[in-house]
């Protein structure tokens, strides 16, 4: 008999195709404008001080990694998008900070009890099969020192469902990014057919991301060995009705 609630087929996921220059073209200005305030918020959630070692897992183009380094943390950023890593390194040089950027798979981390804190921000979790996603949590647990903290930020599916839209369009001048969304209730994946229209070319980028409720994610974190699991909303207060984002905090015992 198969396990109920296990989504173990591997979804289509092309990190280099999804997180590329087109992504930065449409989303970059929107997320960069909130980076400074968000970095300080993240530092407080992580509970880190100058000199602490932080892993930014799925660091993207380094907007938080580089700011945490500017605050005195020793930061490693890991991602598997070459485009994002190039941008991250260039921005680090421009800011005059040192960050170790690594091209890697979050399901196979090379560190053992290395970090004081691990950050996984802006829905950067849930792109693999359930077994692959669980492997990520186990790898993070192994990479943290005892007492180290994991902070994850992602959608809260309970609050997302009432406002779930079948189509979302982002426009920059004459360019468009059109996302066609479909939520699969059997796998709890948001399946996206993305169409990018930019500079006279059209590109299709399908992908899917796993959605979670707080209780389900808490169970996964406990099974991976974490303790003291708590949830907050995007304002830092305890997760409740009306919060659009979910922040999970967990400790390696």
Query: CA–CA separation, 169 vs 108, rounded Å?
Result: 34
Predicted model pTM: 0.95
| Ordered DSSP codes for 37-86 | HHHHHHHHHHT--TT-EEEEET-TTSHHHHHHHHTT-EEEEEES-HHHHH
Question: Regarding predicted confidence, which is higher, 215 or 10?
Answer: 215
Which two three-digit tokens encode residue 208? 């899917």
pLDDT by residue (tens digit) across 80-91? 999 999 999 999
pLDDT by residue (tens digit) across 48-93? 999 999 999 999 999 999 999 999 999 999 999 999 999 999 999 9
Question: Mean per-residue pLDDT for 151-161?
Answer: 96
Domains of the chain: 15-154+213-252 (3.40.50.150)
In 3D space, the residue among 184, 186, 181, 124 whose CA is nearest the CA of residue 150 turns out to be 124
């Amino acid at each position: 008999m198969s396990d109920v609630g296990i989504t173990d087929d591997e979804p289509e996921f092309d990190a280099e195709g999804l997180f590329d220059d087109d992504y930065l073209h449409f989303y970059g200005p929107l997320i960069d404008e909130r980076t400074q305030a968000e970095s300080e918020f993240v530092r407080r959630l992580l509970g880190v001080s100058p000199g602490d070692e932080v892993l930014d897992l799925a660091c993207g183009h380094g907007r938080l990694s580089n700011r945490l380094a500017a605050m005195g943390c020793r930061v490693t950023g890991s991602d598997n998008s070459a485009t994002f890593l190039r941008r991250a390194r260039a921005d680090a040089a421009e800011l005059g900070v040192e960050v170790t950027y690594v091209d890697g798979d979050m399901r196979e981390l090379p560190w053992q009890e290395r970090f004081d804190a691990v950050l996984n921000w802006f829905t950067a979790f849930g792109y693999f099969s359930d077994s692959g996603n669980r492997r990520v949590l186990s790898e993070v647990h192994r990479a943290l020192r005892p007492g180290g903290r994991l902070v994850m930020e992602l959608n809260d599916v309970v609050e997302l469902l009432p406002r779930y839209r079948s189509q979302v369009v982002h426009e920059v001048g004459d360019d468009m990014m059109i996302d066609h969304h479909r939520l699969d209730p059997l796998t709890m994946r948001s399946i996206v057919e993305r169409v990018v229209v930019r500079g006279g070319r059209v590109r299709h980028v399908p992908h899917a991301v796993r959605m979670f409720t707080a209780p389900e994610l808490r169970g996964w974190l406990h099974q991976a060995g974490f303790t003291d699991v708590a949830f907050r909303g995007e304002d830092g207060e305890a997760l409740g009705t009306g919060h659009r984002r979910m922040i999970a905090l967990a400790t390696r015992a």
